[in-house]
């Protein structure tokens, strides 16, 4: 089997933890894994893209263009920016919440929320929008948007592991005192897919 997932967002949104959790869950099933990020300057409010790959045998860590099965977008515009990675007919789970960069405030560029949603709907086999900010806030912490996303992803049958295994990987990656809030976030993410 092979599964390629691209995660796109803004620095500081927790995409690295999300990609590692996915890789750990796949490893627990005996699969070969690769993740790839560009970290460093990107954390300073810049775009961050993580690639997660799982298969029986793997070479490179970068997913080819039009090769990703899933595109997880933690931020709306960044989801569009990563779109050429998605395979024809692929699935997008995107946050409807936005982080508008300073350049827009300064009038140097524009942020067209409605256009981005429309474009994503047209470009994917299936596009689902969930409000990560609202849901993570309900879970108890705005910092759990990444885990809400993983919860949403866990409802898809293409994953080679059980939702519980993905949740375990998340819980093993966070301090004990944050386990409950992350468990909530995961569960709310799953529930969000029922109504999406």
Q: Which is nearer to other proteins, 69 or 190 (CB)?
A: 69
x-marked contacts with other proteins along 124-163 as a string, rule CB under 8 A: ------------------x---------------------
Rounded to whole angstroms, the Cα distance separating 192 from 24 reads 24
Which 50-69 residues touch other proteins, going by CB under 8 A?
58-67
Residue (of 18, 39, 15) closest to 154 by Cα position: 18
Helix (H) or strand (E) holding 50: strand 47-55
Which 10-39 residues touch other proteins, going by CB under 8 A?
10-11, 19-20, 23-24, 27, 32-39
Rounded to whole angstroms, the Cα distance separating 107 from 143 reads 29
Q: Which is nearer to other proteins, 172 or 196 (CB)?
A: 172
3-state secondary structure 75-125: CHHHHHHCHHHEEEEEEEEEECCCCCCHHHHCCCCCCCHHHHHHHHHHHCC
Q: Which is nearer to other proteins, 88 or 175 (CB)?
A: 88
Q: Segment near other proteins (CB under 8 A), from 44-52, 145-153, 159-167, 177-185?
A: 44-52
Binding site for other proteins (CB under 8 A): 10-11, 19-20, 23-24, 27, 32-47, 58-67, 77-78, 80-81, 83, 88, 100-106, 108-112, 115-116, 119, 122-123, 142
């Amino acid at each position: 089997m092979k599964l390629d997932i691209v995660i796109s967002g803004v620095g500081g949104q927790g995409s690295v933890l999300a990609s590692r959790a996915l890789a750990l869950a796949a490893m627990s099933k005996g699969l070969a894994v690769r993740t790839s990020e560009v970290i460093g300057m990107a954390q300073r409010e810049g775009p961050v893209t993580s690639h997660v790959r799982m298969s029986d045998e793997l070479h490179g860590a970068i997913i080819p263009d039009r090769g990703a099965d899933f595109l997880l977008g933690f931020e709306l515009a960044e989801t569009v920016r990563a779109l050429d990675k998605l395979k024809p007919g692929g699935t997008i789970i995107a946050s409807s919440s936005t982080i508008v960069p300073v350049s827009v405030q300064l009038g140097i560029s524009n942020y067209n929320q409605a256009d981005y949603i429309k474009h994503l709907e047209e470009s994917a086999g299936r596009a689902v929008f969930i409000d990560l900010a609202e849901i993570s806030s309900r879970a108890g912490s705005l910092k759990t948007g990444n885990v809400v996303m993983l919860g949403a992803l866990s409802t898809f049958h293409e994953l080679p592991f059980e939702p519980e295994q993905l949740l375990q990987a998340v819980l093993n990656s966070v301090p004990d005192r944050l386990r409950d809030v992350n468990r909530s976030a995961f569960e709310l993410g799953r529930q969000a897919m029922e109504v999406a």
